[in-house]
Amino acid sequence: MKRYKCKLCGYIYDPEKGDPKSNTEPGTPFEELPDTWKCPSCGLPKAKFIEI
């Protein structure tokens, strides 16, 4: 699965880990996150992440 990085703070969304802060289950691809999802570290919108 692809990982994505926040352009502002460098947080990396790893689908294998999910996002416990937003109750996103491990195994959830970035593409399936809601458009309202934000970086759990700095609050930057999902649209500002880049694929790594």
Query: pLDDT tens digits, residue range 4-52?
Result: 999 999 999 999 999 999 999 999 999 999 999 999 999 999 999 999 9
pTM given for the model? 0.91
Provide the CB-side half-sphere exposure for 17 (13 A, CA): 9
Using CA atoms of 19, 40, 48, 44 in order, give the dihedral in degrees to the nearest 10.
Answer: 160
Selected residue with higher pLDDT from 1 and 16: 16
CATH of domain 4-51: 2.20.28.10
Mark residue 43 as left, alpha or beta (left: phi above 0; alpha: psi -120 to 50; beta: remaining). left
1 pLDDT more than 90: no
